[in-house]
Amino acid sequence: MALAHPGFLLAGAAVNLTLVTPEKAIKLAANDFFRQLLMEDGMQQNLKMEMLAGCGAGMCQVVVTCPMEMLKIQLQDAGRLAVHRQGSASAPSSSRSYTTRSAPTHKRPSATLIAWELLRTRGLSGLYKGLGATLLRDIPFSIIYFPLFANLNNLGFNERTGKASFAHSFMSGCVAGSIAAVTVTPLDVLKTRIQTLKKGLGEDSYSGITDCTRKIWIQEGPSALMKGAGCRALVIAPLFGIAQGVYFLGIGERILKCFE
C-alpha cells in the first residue's frame, strides 16, 4: 500500500503560523468593538447583545480565515492525493507494461505556489472559494464562543484586580472553545469538502452547501458530519485558551489605544 511522506503531517503549519495571529487579533478586537458599541460599558451581562457582538466578530474574521483555510486545506490534502497517484502508478496497466520509465515524482506544493496559481487562474475569488461555508461556520462559532467565554470568565472575576486571573481566563477559553468547536463541526466538514479543489478518483464534487450536505447525508450517513470533532476540540481548546489568556493580560487593550 502506498504511503504519504511523513512531512505531509506538518503540511499547512506555516500557513497557520503566519495567519492565525492576525485572524485571532481580528476576532478578539472585533468582538470587543461590537460589545462596546452594543452595550453601555461592554461589561454587563446581556446574552442577546453578546451573541450579536460574536456574530459581528465572526463576519470580520473571514477576511483572513477564508484564504487561510483555503491554502491550508490544499497543503494538507496533498498527501492524500500523492497516495492516490502512487496507487494509480503502481496499478497494472497494459498500456504501461512494456515501458521502463518510472512514474514522475510529485513535489509537495507550497502555500505561495498555490496562492499564485489561484490568483492567476481564478483571481481573488479563488482564494475566497467557500466564503459562504466559512461564514456559516465562523458566525455560529463566535455566537456560541464569546457569550460562553464571557460568562465562564466572569465566574472568576477578582474585584481587587478588576479582571479574572490568567489561569481562569485560559481555562474559560479552553472550555468555551472546545464546546463551540464540537458544536459547529458539521459546518466545518461542509466547508472543508467545498474548499478541497483537487478530488481523488471516485470522489464527489459539490456545487454548493446544500448539494454537499445532501451527498454526505445520503452516501456517508449523518455521522460523517461529525468527523474530526474530537481533533477539533483538542486543537481549538488550547488555541483559544492561550489567545484569551494573553488578551486578558492587557496586550489587546494597549494595541487598541494606539488607534484612539
Q: DSSP characters for 173-194? A: HHHHHHHHHHHTHHHHHHHHHH
pLDDT score of 149: 93
For residue 136, what pLDDT is reported?
A: 95
pLDDT for res 102 = 42
Instruction: Supply the pLDDT for residue 42.
Output: 52
The answer to the question of residue 104 being in a domain is: no
Model pLDDT, residue 5 = 53
The percent of the chain in helix, strand and coil, each rounded to the nearest 5, is 75, 0, 25
Report yes or no: 28 and 60 within 8 Å, Cβ to Cβ: no
**Domain housing 247:** 22-77+110-257
- What pLDDT score was predicted for residue 161? 79
CATH, residue 197: 1.50.40.10
Does any domain span residue 206? yes
**Dist CA 199 CA 86 (whole Å):** 15
Q: What pLDDT does 73 receive?
A: 86
97 lies in some domain: no
Handedness of CA 146, 27, 57, 254 (dihedral sign): positive
Does 31 map to a domain?
A: yes
Torsion of CA 203, 208, 211, 216, to 10 degrees: 50
Residue 15 has a pLDDT of: 63
Contact 181, 241 (CB under 8 A): no
Query: Which three three-digit cell numbers place residue 204?
Result: 464527489
**Residue ranges in the chain modelled with pLDDT below 50:** 1-2, 8, 91, 93-105
Q: Is residue 4 part of a domain?
A: no
Residue 95 lies in a domain: no
Per residue in 39-87, pLDDT (tens digit) is: 876 556 788 999 999 999 999 999 999 988 888 888 877 766 555 555 5
Question: Cβ atoms within 10 A of the Cβ of 64, count?
Answer: 18
Tell me how crowded residue 24 is: count the other CB atoms within 10 A of its CB.
19
Is the C-alpha dihedral spanning 230, 232, 238, 244 positive or negative?
A: negative
- Residue 95, pLDDT score: 42
How far is residue 25's CA from residue 28's CA, in Å, rounded to a whole number? 5
Q: What is the predicted pLDDT for the residue at 99?
A: 41
Q: What's the pLDDT at 32?
A: 87
Number of structural domains in the chain: 1
Decide if 82 is inside a domain: no
Quick check: is 138 in a domain? yes
Chain-centroid distance, C-alpha 218: 25
Tell me, what's the pLDDT at 20?
Answer: 79
Burial of 71 (0-12, 13-18, 19+ CB in 10 A): buried
